[in-house]
């Protein structure tokens, strides 16, 4: 196999090298001993054979990628991602995550320059990708096989290593603007300033800094036809809410109704129901994309310490804000007596309802007059790394001290009201739950508004790491490489709830939450050996022992074998075990209660959609219910086994291909049973349902974190790199990455039945059978262009119970086109269009997210979007 092929499939090189930055395909790269993502042994780049996907920073703008989450969505093995859209209604704090192999973001290890970043405190197990400053990056490397033996216990799905520029000289300013064709909403802007001075080789030092500012405006769901409603009779879907304005009532003599139902339920999002009530299509109020802003700074200083030794100081500061809006507060269980002037048929003019003779009413009311519920989330991350690397007594060494914090807060801005005051206002006749408020009522409503910070969480991680490597002896086939390293880390998490504020609004999710905290010490020792068994056969061995003071320890080995029978082919295989301890959030996270994404019939009070005698149908039937989750001190660690087998082919110097098979098995997966599964099988999950003492009200469904069972997944990654011969028309290159998933099966409890998830929505998400990203690049002189395609295969939809409405979500394929010109002095200009053919997301009846009609985790609601980027170098 030629040197060029070996370089391509080793991936571009990680930090920790000496001399100038190595670049794939250069002569310098072939003679430098470097550390590659996935190994601790420094070696020639051409000697490695790891299944690594690498994305250069220069490719980000070609595809119109504005965030780290978008960059990782171009990687075929990344099954899904959490973005700011999921913060709408679900309290994620605006976190953005990746999910390699679909195993969960908590099993994807994210590194910055080979070292850890503090996890976001609101989920405690994933790095918030919003803190990554794209403009500071040189490239992103993704190690596709598990690396628990090298990097730690949470690298089961794979490793993502964001690698920054090693040194910067001069100054650069760049501006970007992204504008959707359909409307100005959802537009994005970015400003980047970077500069540095000092030549590491000549001056012995380099200082550089990068400031990156990015913001996006909000997009309302109603601004796109495909997301404008959650009521689709033609699809058998009605996810409207039985809590409305005007309110619905249930009387003591069993009458259900709404005073204004007879006039047609006229109002924003209102629809008439068959039982004489008004329901609310909450999609009329929610956002598809919230308003977001990210500000980040990365500063790095590198010094030569003598010989081949370097010292580095690296500081990252990032602040991310997220302002999301959802429907006005829903209040249930409100008592109204005939003494109220707003009683139907009373003195205030509310229409009378036949059958009412003054009985007390129980009212469901959505406080539209108080406005949408608007929440504001802030995430702040700081990370300081002091490091040194070099060569001492023939040993390559790398040591570092890391201090990292991640703080997140959530606050009420408007629309959240004091439940007790609101109920009292209706009971004493000041508030009108059926119509407009009086002057006194409006003033009372404003006084009941809740504003301020109700939740603050913080993760702190302090760690030291050290490793050394060298060739320890020589076999007949070559030198044996050896590495040994150790890590010590102290992690602490605190969750502070403003109980006085949060307890007043049941819709906040934290009404019953209490302060929580936890901490742990982690120690690890690992080693790696690389031995040439023959001229074309290399054996790799690695092992790691991790010890957690709160959950114990685990030993995890890895074995790999590379065989190159000819210059045109290379074969590789590996096997490793993994161990992921429950995070501090998994163990100590506060109990939170939120509304379910879908509407459900209470299985006890409204079985099959028929209300039982004495129950309130406005609460029990086809209504969003409360579901509770939180930490569990009884969780056991997850354990895994990963097997990989691959082949790399290079029939010519301009064409290279690879196929890699993966097989992963996980035991004791930590998670929660999905809401759909719980409500669809009450007999099995009856213990999850918590009712009031009188049995007339479902208080919440208790879906705490638990060890659910096993996960088995297998499939094939395919890559193709083809560089066409040079011609008068310019240089062309084709790049393709695809992943085919053969099977993804999981259990909802230990020993339970396996559920196949490939090509099927499953409990709360689909696993795509096929996903690919393909790009054609062209360059001629100062001109260049790029055409990219991202493809996701179709799947059987979530709500697929009734054959009449059986539905398959169609495949989703979008193209991006860009062109660049570098003919101006010191200036580069790029213009492009994302979603070139203005393809709408495919329809899905999913109810897992608060958005309807499409799935924001996999598709983009913006449509065709034009963008421009200009860069000026001083």
pLDDT in tens, 792-849: 999 999 876 667 788 899 999 999 999 999 999 999 999 999 999 999 999 999 888 8
Average pLDDT of every residue of the chain: 88
Give the confidence band of 54 by pLDDT, cuts at 50, 70, 90: confident
Q: Residue 28 pLDDT more than 50?
A: no
Q: Residue 363 pLDDT more than 90?
A: yes
The Cα–Cα gap between 391 and 18 comes to: 10
Task: Give the DSSP H/E element, type plus range, for residue 399.
Answer: strand 395-414
Q: What letter would DSSP give residue 705?
A: -
Tens digit of each residue's pLDDT (9 = 90 or more) over 212-226: 999 999 999 999 999
**Cα torsion 104, 109, 578, 46: sign:** positive
From the list 560, 527, 637, 487, the residue with the least C-alpha distance to 114 is 487
Q: Residue 40 pLDDT more than 70?
A: no
Taking the mean position of all CA atoms in its chain, how far away is CA 583?
Answer: 17
Q: Residue 636 pLDDT more than 60?
A: yes
Q: Residue 60 pLDDT more than 90?
A: no
Long-range pairs for 108-111: beta carbons < 8 A, 24 or more residues apart: 108/154, 108/157, 108/158, 108/159, 108/160, 109/147, 109/151, 109/152, 109/154, 109/155, 109/157, 109/158, 109/159, 109/160, 110/160, 110/162, 111/151, 111/159, 111/160, 111/161, 111/162
What is the DSSP code string of 717-778? EEEEEEEPPPBTTBEEEEEEEEEEEEEEEEESSTT--EEE-BTB-TTT--B-SEEEEEEEEE
The Cα–Cα gap between 51 and 710 comes to: 25
pLDDT of residue 860: 92
The Cα–Cα gap between 439 and 261 comes to: 25
Average pLDDT of the residues in 20-44 = 45
Strand-pairing partners, residue 573, are 561, 645
Average pLDDT of the residues in 408-429 = 94
pLDDT of residue 219: 95
Q: What letter would DSSP give residue 802?
A: S
pLDDT of residue 148: 65
Average pLDDT of the residues in 329-348 = 94
From the list 706, 870, 861, the residue with the least C-alpha distance to 216 is 861
pLDDT of residue 25: 36
Tens digit of each residue's pLDDT (9 = 90 or more) over 685-713: 999 999 988 888 898 898 888 999 999 99
Burial 379-392 (b: 16+ CB within 10 A, else e): bbbbbebebbbbee
The Cα–Cα gap between 583 and 580 comes to: 8
For a pLDDT cut of 90, what percent of the chain falls above it? Answer: 62
Tens digit of each residue's pLDDT (9 = 90 or more) over 452-491: 999 999 999 999 999 999 999 999 999 999 999 999 999 9
Tens digit of each residue's pLDDT (9 = 90 or more) over 268-299: 999 999 889 999 999 999 999 999 999 999 99
Lowest mean pLDDT among 29-38, 57-66, 413-422, 543-552: 29-38
pLDDT of residue 722: 94
pLDDT of residue 324: 92
Residues with Cβ within 8 Å of 683's Cβ and at least 6 positions away in sequence, in order, are none
Average pLDDT of the residues in 516-535 = 93
Tens digit of each residue's pLDDT (9 = 90 or more) over 550-583: 999 999 999 999 999 998 899 999 999 998 999 8
pLDDT of residue 713: 96
Report the relative pairing of strands 108-112 and 158-164 from DSSP bridges: parallel
Structure tokens at 80: 């899904």
Lowest mean pLDDT among 35-39, 253-257, 830-834: 35-39
Q: Per mean pLDDT, which of 250-254, 391-395, 835-839 is the most reliable?
A: 835-839
Give the confidence band of 94 by pLDDT, cuts at 50, 70, 90: confident
Give the confidence band of 12 by pLDDT, cuts at 50, 70, 90: very low
Q: How many CB atoms lie within 10 A of CB 169?
A: 13
Give the confidence band of 44 by pLDDT, cuts at 50, 70, 90: very low
pLDDT of residue 91: 64
For a pLDDT cut of 70, what percent of the chain falls above it? Answer: 92
- Count Cα atoms within 13 angstroms, Cβ side, for 154: 23
Average pLDDT of the residues in 359-367 = 95
pLDDT of residue 1: 35
- Three-state DSSP at 2 gives coil
pLDDT of residue 375: 93
Structure tokens at 692: 């009031």
Burial of residue 627, with CB atoms counted within 10 A of its CB: 0-12 exposed, 13-18 middle, 19 or more buried: buried
Beta strands in 8-107, from DSSP E residues, in sequence order:
33-34, 43-44, 52-56, 78-82, 97-100
Report the relative pairing of strands 698-702 and 170-180 from DSSP bridges: unpaired
Structure tokens at 654: 């301009």
Lowest mean pLDDT among 84-88, 231-235, 448-452: 84-88
Q: What are phi and psi of 136, to 5 degrees?
A: -90, -5
Q: Residue 510 pLDDT more than 90?
A: no
The Cα–Cα gap between 562 and 570 comes to: 7
Pairwise pLDDT comparison (508 vs 347), residue with the higher score: 347
């Amino acid at each position: 196999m030629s040197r060029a092929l070996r370089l391509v499939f080793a991936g571009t090189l990680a930090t920790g090298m000496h001399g100038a930055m190595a670049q794939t395909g250069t002569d310098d790269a072939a003679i430098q001993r470097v550390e590659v993502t996935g190994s601790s042994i420094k070696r020639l780049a051409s000697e490695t054979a790891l299944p690594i996907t690498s994305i250069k920073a220069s490719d980000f703008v070609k595809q119109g990628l504005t965030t780290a989450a978008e960059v990782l969505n171009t990687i075929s093995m990344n099954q899904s991602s959490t973005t700011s859209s999921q913060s709408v209604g679900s309290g994620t704090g605006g976190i953005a995550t990746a999910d390699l192999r679909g195993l969960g973001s908590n099993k994807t290890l994210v590194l910055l320059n080979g070292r850890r970043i503090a996890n976001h405190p609101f989920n405690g197990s994933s790095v918030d990708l919003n803190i990554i400053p794209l403009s500071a990056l040189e490239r992103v490397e993704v190690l596709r096989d598990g690396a628990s033996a090298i990097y730690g216990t949470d690298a089961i799905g794979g490793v993502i290593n964001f690698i920054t520029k090693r040194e910067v000289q001069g100054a650069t300013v760049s501006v970007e603007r992204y504008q959707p064709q359909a409307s100005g909403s959802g537009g994005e802007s970015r400003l980047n300033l970077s500069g540095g001075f000092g030549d590491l080789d000549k001056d012995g030092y380099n200082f550089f800094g990068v400031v990156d500012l990015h913001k996006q405006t909000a997009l309302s769901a109603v601004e796109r036809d495909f997301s404008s409603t959650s009521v689709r009779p033609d699809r058998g879907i009605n996810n409207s809410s039985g809590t409305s304005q005007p309110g619905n009532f249930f009387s003591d003599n069993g009458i259900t109704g709404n005073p204004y139902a007879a006039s047609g339920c006229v109002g924003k999002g209102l629809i008439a129901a068959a039982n004489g009530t008004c329901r609310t299509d909450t999609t009329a109020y929610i956002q598809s994309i919230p308003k977001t802003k990210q500000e980040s700074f990365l500063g790095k200083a590198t010094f030569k310490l003598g010989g081949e030794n370097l010292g580095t100081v690296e500081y990252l500061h990032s602040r991310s804000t997220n302002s999301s809006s959802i429907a006005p507060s829903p209040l249930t269980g409100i008592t109204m007596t005939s003494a109220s002037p707003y009683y139907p048929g009373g003195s205030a003019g509310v229409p009378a309802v036949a059958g009412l003779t003054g009985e007390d009413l129980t009212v469901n009311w959505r406080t539209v007059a108080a406005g949408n519920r608007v929440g504001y989330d802030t995430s702040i991350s700081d990370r300081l790394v002091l490091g040194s690397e070099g060569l001492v007594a023939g040993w390559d060494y790398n040591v570092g001290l890391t201090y990292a914090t991640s703080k997140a807060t959530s606050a009420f801005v408007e629309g959240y009201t004091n439940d007790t005051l609101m109920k009292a206002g209706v009971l004493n006749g000041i508030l009108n739950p059926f119509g407009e408020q009086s002057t006194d009522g409006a003033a009372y409503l404003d006084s009941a508004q809740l504003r301020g910070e109700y939740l603050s969480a913080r993760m702190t991680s302090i760690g030291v790491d050290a490793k050394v490597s060298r060739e320890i002896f020589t076999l007949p086939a070559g030198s044996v490489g050896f590495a040994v390293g150790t890590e010590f880390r102290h992690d602490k998490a605190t969750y502070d709830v403003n109980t006085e504020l949060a307890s007043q609004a049941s819709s906040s999710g934290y009404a019953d939450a209490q302060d929580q905290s936890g901490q742990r010490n982690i120690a690890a020792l690992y080693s790696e050996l690389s031995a040439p068994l023959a001229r074309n056969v290399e054996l790799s061995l690695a092992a790691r022992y991790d010890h957690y003071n709160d959950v114990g320890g685990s030993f995890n080995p890895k074995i790999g074998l590379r065989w190159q029978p000819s210059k045109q082919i290379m074969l590789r295989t590996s096997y490793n075990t993994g161990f992921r301890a429950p995070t501090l959030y998994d163990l100590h996270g506060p109990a939170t209660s939120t509304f379910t994404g879908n509407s459900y019939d209470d299985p006890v009070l409204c079985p099959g959609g028929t209300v039982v005698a004495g129950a309130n149908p406005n609460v029990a039937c086809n209504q969003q219910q409360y579901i509770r989750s939180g930490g569990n001190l009884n969780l056991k660690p997850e354990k895994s086994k990963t097997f990989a087998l691959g082949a790399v082919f290079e029939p010519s110097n301009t064409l290279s291909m690879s196929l890699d098979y993966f097989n992963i098995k996980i035991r004791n997966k930590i998670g929660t049973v999905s809401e759909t599964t719980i409500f669809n099988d009450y007999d099995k999950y009856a213990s999850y349902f918590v009712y009031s003492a009188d049995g007339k009200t479902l208080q919440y469904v208790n879906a705490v974190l638990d060890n659910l069972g096993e996960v088995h997944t297998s499939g094939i990654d395919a890559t193709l790199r083809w560089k066409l011969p040079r011609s008068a028309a310019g240089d062309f290159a084709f790049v393709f990455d695809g992943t085919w998933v053969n099977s993804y099966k999981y259990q909802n409890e230990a020993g339970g039945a396996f559920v196949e998830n490939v090509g099927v929505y499953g409990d709360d998400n689909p696993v795509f059978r096929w996903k690919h990203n393909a790009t054609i690049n062209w360059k001629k002189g100062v001109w260049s262009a790029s055409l990219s395609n991202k493809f996701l295969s179709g799947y059987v939809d979530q709500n697929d119970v009734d054959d009449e409405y059986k539905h398959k979500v169609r495949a989703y394929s979008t193209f991006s086109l860009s062109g660049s010109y570098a003919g101006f002095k010191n200036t580069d200009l790029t213009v492009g269009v994302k979603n070139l053919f203005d393809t709408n997301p495919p329809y899905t009846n999913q109810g897992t997210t608060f958005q309807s009609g499409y799935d924001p985790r996999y598709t983009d609601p913006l449509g065709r979007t034009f963008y421009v980027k200009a860069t000026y170098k001083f």
